[in-house]
Amino acid sequence: MMADRPLLTQARIGVLMGGQSSERDVSLRTGAAVHRALVRRGYDAVTIDVGPTLSRDLRDQKVAIAFLALHGPGGEDGSVQGFLETLGIPYTGSGIQASAVGMHKVTTKTILAAHGIPVPAGTVIRRGEKVSSAQMLRVTKLRWPVVVKPASEGSTIGVTIVRKPSQWSEALALAHRYDRDAMVEAYIPGHEVTVSLLGRQDEAPLVLPAVEIVAPGGFYDFAAKYEKGKTQYLCPAPLSVSVTREIRAFALRTYEVLGCAGAARVDFRITPRGRPYVLEINTVPGMTETSLLPMAAAQAGIGYEELTERILESAVARLKQSRSVA
């Protein structure tokens, strides 16, 4: 159904989805939902399953703007952003640097800590390094349990909560299956909360209501994220006014420090005493039917189609900027 208001752009939009990362299936679902929303909103949009023929596909489909619905390495890490920039095709979301930094959790934590943003204590173990659990505990001064995760994966893929030494080697091997760097960090007991943001041209980003995630067994794993009915979501999160204000400020600061654009989502753990820690930032948040960004936007009175259009604004801003420079 064509919209009865002026469109942001008449240019053809290519929804880039799929890719080759371990989050391919989630990306396909995100891309399909985004494409439907854009078409309903009146845009000329096509879907492109990203692969080796991407350059030819973009040319054949006459794509002028890319809406990125890619998750994980190859889509969220700056590589496709750089590729699109070489082709002169504007895209949604964060640029090369913010995408690359945001994808690598270790780099993200290092930068955030330098800016006074609280992150869990921890260390990094490279693939091939022989580090026993006793050595790790001694060097880091951590205590069981600890969390072991790949440095550059999403959707809780390759993540293990290690509660005893006998689980250590297997957890490291799993993380190293997905990334050269395995991140080891303190397990933060308490609540899992996320805060989404929407960038706006020439204005401060809009900070959306926080969502608390109550997962079965207390672990928000892949199944809990993407299987309906597995997890309870509380939006707005039932937090005190002071804690809510604090995590909103930390989320905004994280977004600004990393130089993000468009939509992003900052994930927190909050201790029972109300102390928040930033776990990571997602620079291409999921847009499936169970995703957290659309849920938070709906709480703020922004429907799915409008949300999709607001994300599109970041690409249109790049398009206008490139034309003004030219």
Q: What is the pLDDT of residues 94-118, one digit of tens each?
A: 999 999 999 999 999 999 999 999 9
- Which one of the listed residues 282, 291, 304, 314 is annotated catalytic? 282
Asked if the model's pLDDT at residue 323 lies above 90, the reply is: no
Q: What average pLDDT does range 12-37 have in this prediction?
A: 94
Residues 174/19/156/264 CA torsion (nearest 10 deg): 140
Q: What average pLDDT does range 111-131 have in this prediction?
A: 96
179 flagged as catalytic? no
Asked if the model's pLDDT at residue 81 lies above 90, the reply is: yes
Asked if the model's pLDDT at residue 218 lies above 60, the reply is: no
Asked if the model's pLDDT at residue 155 lies above 60, the reply is: no
pLDDT higher at 231 or 51 = 51
Whole-number pLDDT of residue 188: 95
- Which one of the listed residues 277, 286, 310, 313 is annotated catalytic? 286
200 flagged as catalytic? no
Distance CA 308, CA 288 (A): 12
280 flagged as catalytic? yes
How many helices (H) does the chain have, and how many strands (E)?
11, 13
What phi, psi does 192 have (nearest 5°)? -100, 120
23 flagged as catalytic? yes
Distance CA 256, CA 98 (A): 10
227 flagged as catalytic? no
- Which one of the listed residues 21, 23, 185, 309 is annotated catalytic? 23
286 flagged as catalytic? yes
DSSP secondary structure of 12-38: -EEEEE--SSTTHHHHHHHHHHHHHHH
Model-wide pTM > 0.85: yes
155 flagged as catalytic? yes
